[in-house]
Amino acid sequence: MTATTDGSTGAVTPRAASATGTTDTTPAAIGAPDAAARAIRRSTEFLLSRQDAQGWWKGDLATNVTMDAEDLLLRQFLGVQDETTNRAAGLFIRGEQRADGTWASFHGGPGELSVTIEAYVALRLAGDAPDEPHMARASAWIREQGGVASARVFTRIWLALFGWWKWDDLPELPPELLYFPKWFPLNIYDFGCWARQTIVPLTIVSAKRPVRPAPFPLDELHADPRFPNPTKPLAPVASWDGVFQRLDKALHLYHKIAPRGVRRAAMNSAARWIIERQENDGCWGGIQPPAVYSVIALHLLGYDLDHPVLKAGLESLDRFAVWREDGARMIEACQSPVWDTCLATIALADAGVPADHPQLVKAADWMLGEQIVRPGDWSVRRPGLTPGGWAFEFHNDNYPDIDDTAEVVLALRRVEHPDRARMEHAIARGVRWNLGMQSKNGAWAAFDVDNTSPFPNRLPFCDFGEVIDPPSADVTAHVVEMAAYEGLADDPRTRRGVEWLLAEQEAFGGWFGRWGVNYVYGTGSVLPALTAVGMPGSHPAIRRAVAWLESVQNDDGGWGEDLRSYREERWIGHGASTASQTAWALIGLLAAGERDSTAVERGVRWLARTQRDDGSWDEPYFTGTGFPWDFSINYHLYRQVFPLTALGRYVNGEPFAGVSGKGS
């Protein structure tokens, strides 16, 4: 198919299929290239229309209702609840309940106990009576699952704040943890940055053990109304579980005898640590959970709600709220403007939008302004490295991430910015920072270097998901791809990354997806990286990956993978077809040279066929990953940017063809 560029929008549009007569232009009736070009035009117009005037894109970031429930619990704890918020939050939480009375942690998933407990309590705060049918179904299911005693630690911490659970029956987390030197096991820098930001304020909460008057009892959520502490047998003393269980018992004893001066000093040190990391917008790390616990911790230390730190913190939490047309209020766990903007820029450029298009230039300008040029927590392990990364959120200077930085560089390379010197300086600084964050095994993690200690995950307290940040295939692949396009395909650091990726390939041919669901994401990320460094499509690793992707294509032509693939092998590569996952598979296959394959044609037709009239795609399924299985994300912009990227590469070819970075 021949395509032309419409200079007014930058969209690729197919030439007329016929000079005379009536032509059926439905995706099923025309060839795959024509169907793809038609979808590109509509998708490009849709995406360009969604750009903010400042140059960024941001889709809603949906998780599960614990964000909404904990927001109401925080307001209850601080005494700042209001009827409008209660009603709007209740409307959203109620709307997410399933027919069996439960709430799931992702669309289509099974009922989840802790999520259901927190949602139930939030609806009680919103005014729902326990004998209403939807509430009775929920409480009955909770009791069947073992009640509050079987919930995760974080859920029971929230209940302990109101006396619905006993602090003595929670794992201990002393603030003296901050005194551990950086080389000592279980120092705070052994935790991933998201866990670190949450744990430090929780050490204050754990030390203070506050109890505010409960607005109602919760007897109906206990399997035994006497609230028994479930007695679990200790693991053998020679096992790591046994060691950490006994350590927790010792810490409970220390809580009773801790010298007051030492404890007070430790809490003050924790408070200073928290305040030093508050961002300019009042938030912490750009994510909701650390902000919530930081506000509680500082309030317990005597900071009143009008104090500038707390006032800014509470205002920042309000910015996580998404108000819907029906009056419901959803809380985002975080916001993703940098990530969304670089992905949108890549998608539009690969779809044929001119590199000097005003909206791409504006996007590049905004991204350049978001580069972080001061040290953060990452510099604990890399003290001599010059800053230069990008974060995920609007404001998060303490925690730039390697994945965003790689993709921002790839996006900036697609734009002809009028200030070339500024662009080159920013890219060089970002590349230097990213390569400097390589872990000793040759791979890259999301935020830190060598954050691989086996101990944090062993703590009884840490049952809420991944608490360390080891290197992953998807992040490593993005860095390798970036390095290749910067002319560094043969750089020893890049080659070590490639070697690590090849060693990490699963026997069936795919790669694990840490930050996206799951092997489809990992494989769709790695294949473009391998070919970018010059690996031929005939390489055995690439052929195995291609064969696997083709083997898991759905009968309808799309690809999908359920979040349960993180726990159950039978779900690997299997699930309802989604726009984002179909695009990931296509991106991988196209990089491997499979443009003319039947699998690619079927995938392209699926995307063209399922596109909505406004140029967008619908995707209720969660394809993003916070913590594998434990915390899942529906990035609302994924369904738009990745299909456009895949279709653009199908029509226009692979980006950066022939760049000097591609090695032999």
Torsion of CA 508, 513, 516, 518, to 10 degrees: 30
Q: How confident is the model at residue 29 (pLDDT cuts 50, 70, 90)?
A: low
Residue 277 to residue 396: CA distance in whole angstroms: 9
pLDDT tens for residues 365-420? 999 999 999 999 999 999 999 999 999 999 999 999 999 999 999 999 999 999 99
Helix 579-591 crosses helix 598-610 at what angle (to 10 degrees)? 150
What are the phi and psi torsion angles at 258 (to 5°)? -55, 130
Catalytic status, residue 224:
no
Q: Look at residue 20 in the predicted model and tell me its pLDDT.
A: 32
Q: How many CB atoms lie within 10 A of CB 54?
A: 12
The predicted structure's pLDDT at residue 658: 43
Instruction: Pick the range with the lowest mean pLDDT from 220-229, 287-296, 386-395, 454-463.
Output: 220-229
Residue 387 pLDDT: 98
Task: Say what the pLDDT of residue 236 is.
Answer: 80
Listed residue (177, 201, 202) closest to 190, CA to CA: 177
Higher-confidence residue of 253 and 66: namely 66
Evaluate if residue 593 carries a pLDDT over 90: yes
Please state whether beta strands 631-635 and 624-627 pair in parallel, antiparallel, or not at all (unpaired). Answer: antiparallel
Q: How confident is the model at residue 246 (pLDDT cuts 50, 70, 90)?
A: confident
Poorest-confidence range of 10-14, 281-285, 463-467?
10-14
Q: Is the pLDDT of residue 14 over 50?
A: no
For the entire predicted model, the pTM comes to 0.91
**11-15+32-59+336-459+472-652 and 62-217+229-331 in the same fold:** yes
Q: What is the helix (H) or strand (E) element at residue 589, kind and residue range?
A: helix 579-591
Q: DSSP class of residue 237?
A: T
Q: Among residues 569, 457, 584, 460, which one has the least CA distance to residue 515?
A: 584
Mean pLDDT of the chain: 91
| pLDDT, mean of residues 215-228 | 80
The pLDDT assigned to 8 comes to 34
Stretch 77-84: mean pLDDT, rounded? 94
Task: Give the confidence band of 242 by pLDDT, cuts at 50, 70, 90.
Answer: confident
Residue 72 confidence (pLDDT) above 80 = yes
In this prediction, residue 463 carries a pLDDT of 75
Give the list of residues 6+ apart from residue 300 with CB closer than 8 angstroms, or none.
Answer: 204, 205, 208, 210
The reported pLDDT for the residue numbered 169 is 92
Local confidence band at 660 (pLDDT 50, 70, 90 cut-offs): very low
- Inform me whether the pLDDT recorded for 245 exceeds 60: yes
The pLDDT value given to residue 633: 95
300 — phi, psi (to 5°)? -65, -25
Residue 111, helix vs strand vs coil: strand
Residues in Cβ contact with 215 at an 8 Å cutoff, skipping those fewer than 6 apart:
76, 124, 125, 162
Q: Which long-range contacts (CB under 8 A, 24 or more apart) does 120-124 make?
A: 120/221, 121/69, 121/73, 121/158, 121/159, 121/164, 121/218, 121/221, 122/65, 122/68, 122/69, 122/72, 122/73, 122/89, 122/90, 122/93, 123/90, 123/93, 123/94, 124/215, 124/216, 124/218
Q: What is the mean pLDDT of residues 220-243?
A: 70
Domain 11-15+32-59+336-459+472-652: give its CATH code.
1.50.10.20
Q: Convert the pLDDT of each residue in 325-377 to its tens digit.
A: 999 999 999 999 999 999 999 999 999 999 999 999 999 999 999 999 999 99
- Local confidence band at 64 (pLDDT 50, 70, 90 cut-offs): very high
Its CATH architecture, for the domain 62-217+229-331, is: Alpha/alpha barrel (1.50)
| Per-residue confidence (pLDDT) for residue 228, from 0 to 100 | 52
- Buried b / exposed e along 172-211 (16+ C-beta atoms within 10 A): bbbbbbbeeeeeeeebbbbbbbbbbbbbbbbbbbbbbeee
Q: Give residue limits of the domains in the chain.
A: 11-15+32-59+336-459+472-652, 62-217+229-331
Average pLDDT over residues 606-618: 97
Among 170-179, 441-450, 557-566, the least confident range: 170-179
Q: Place 453 in a pLDDT band, splitting at 50, 70 and 90.
A: very high
Residue 475 in contact with residue 402, Cβ under 8 Å?
Answer: yes
Q: Can you tell me the distance from the alpha carbon of 24 to that of 44, in angstroms, rounded to the nearest whole number?
A: 22
Helices (H) and strands (E) in the chain, counts: 22, 7
> Comparing 22-26, 78-82, 605-609, which segment has the lowest mean pLDDT?
22-26
Q: How far apart are CA 97 and CA 582, in angstroms?
A: 28
DSSP string, 64-95: -THHHHHHHHHHHHHT---HHHHHHHHHHHHH
Candidates 403, 404, 469, 562; catalytic one: 403
User: Each residue of 532-562: pLDDT tens digit?
Assistant: 999 999 999 999 999 999 999 999 999 999 9
Of the listed ranges 223-237, 549-563, 581-595, the one predicted with least confidence: 223-237
- CA nearest neighbour of 122 among 182, 81, 62: 81
Q: Give φ, ψ of 632 to 5 degrees.
A: -115, 155
Rounded (10°) angle between helices 193-208 and 288-300 = 30
SS3 category, 194: helix
**Residue 13 confidence (pLDDT) above 60:** no
CA distance 64 to 96: 9
Give tens-digit pLDDT for 633-652.
999 999 999 999 999 999 99
Could you give the percent of the chain with pLDDT greater than 70? 93
Give, for 271, the enclosing helix (H) or strand (E): helix 260-276
Alpha-carbon span 124 to 121, nearest angstrom: 5
Provide the H-helix boundaries in 445-539.
Answer: 473-485, 492-504, 519-532
- What gap in Å lies between CA 515 and CA 477, rounded to an integer? 12
